[in-house]
Amino acid sequence: MASGNLTQVTEFILMGVSDHPELQIPLFLLFLVIYGLTVTGNLGIITLTSADSRLQTPMYFFLRHLAVINLGNSTVIAPKMLVNFLVSKKTTSYYECATQLGGFLVFIVAEIFMLAVMAYDRYVAICNPLLYMVVVSRRICHLLVSLTYFYGFCTAIVVTPCVFSVSYCSSNIINHFYCDNVPLLALSCSDTYIPETVVFIFSGTNLFFSMIIVLISYFNIVLAILRIRSSEGRQKAFSTCASHMVAVTVFYGTLLFMYLQPRTNHSLNTDKMASVFYTLVIPMLNPVIYSLRNKDVKDVLKGFLHGPCK
């Protein structure tokens, strides 16, 4: 960090979702419910896909890890956010902020590529069903998941030190509810060209390559479904990937809304609202999407709730 007579920042103040005092308790209750549903839903998915033999397939293996990632992502953000609704001094230490940014990057990047892996899994299942258990073997499943987490970790250990390599002095008020790249770099009192370039390259390449995998996979899936002659066969094939298509559309739609809007309309407040959606709302929605639109999960859940038949 730069030396000199400037006072270096040792802690940051998070403005939160809203700075209106009368909204703090209602917002606390709202996000407490969202986080509670997120924990319950994702732990439920993890438990069901781990315990029931009917859900021991590659698709549910990937779904289990998506639930782990969703739970991790929201847990990195929500507890500190909830505490800040109740306290007057919404501070976070320099190293706590860096840790939160690193954790967020690990899970958000892992989610981007886990959705791509799940799209590839559905492509193989529908387009090459006879080779499915060979192409998506247990070993390949573990390799793909390991690479997803590893790449998320690599992104975090490159981007986080880069963001915190610049000098932060004087202003320490972050216009956000957690420590994120853009609002942090906006506070810097030194040249941010290198960290901004690094963030742009990682964000752009991650989004581009994961979306290419998803789009190519679903392009081939749609072609394969259209070639099925019976309507019942088409419906059955579509049902195996419908829930994932909904989850992908919601997630990538939010990211594209944030990154592709014109610079003239771009603001930290817009980023903040989009961030609420993909860090807190989507992790809550994913278990619902996969439960309501997936017959296997619904059947296992009913059996789990009602107990074994006598």
The CATH number of whichever domain residue 48 belongs to comes to 1.20.1070.10
Q: Where are the alpha helices (DSSP H) in 87-192?
A: 94-127, 132-135, 138-163, 181-185
The H or E element containing residue 12 is strand 11-14
Residue 93, SS3 per DSSP: strand
Residue 31 in any domain: the answer is yes
Q: Where are the alpha helices (DSSP H) in 22-93?
A: 24-51, 58-86
Residue 123 in any domain: the answer is yes
Residue 95 in any domain: the answer is yes
CA gap 299, 305 in Å, rounded: 10
Q: What is the average per-residue pLDDT within 111-138?
A: 93
The whole domain housing 257 covers: 11-291
**Domains held by the chain: number:** 1
CA gap 205, 170 in Å, rounded: 33
Residue 52: left if φ>0, alpha if ψ -120 to 50, beta else—which one?
beta
Residue 72 in any domain: the answer is yes
| pLDDT range class, residue 268, cuts 50, 70, 90 | low
- pLDDT score recorded for residue 269: 72
Residue 3, SS3 per DSSP: coil
- pLDDT score recorded for residue 65: 97
Q: Which residue has the higher pLDDT, 292 or 235?
A: 235
Residue 257 in any domain: the answer is yes
Q: What percent of the chain has pLDDT over 90?
A: 59
Residue 310 in any domain: the answer is no
Residue 154 in any domain: the answer is yes
Both tokens of 78, joined, read: 């929500």
On whether the pTM is more than 0.85, the answer is yes
Residue 1 in any domain: the answer is no
Judged by average pLDDT, the poorest of 12-21, 152-161, 257-266 is: 257-266
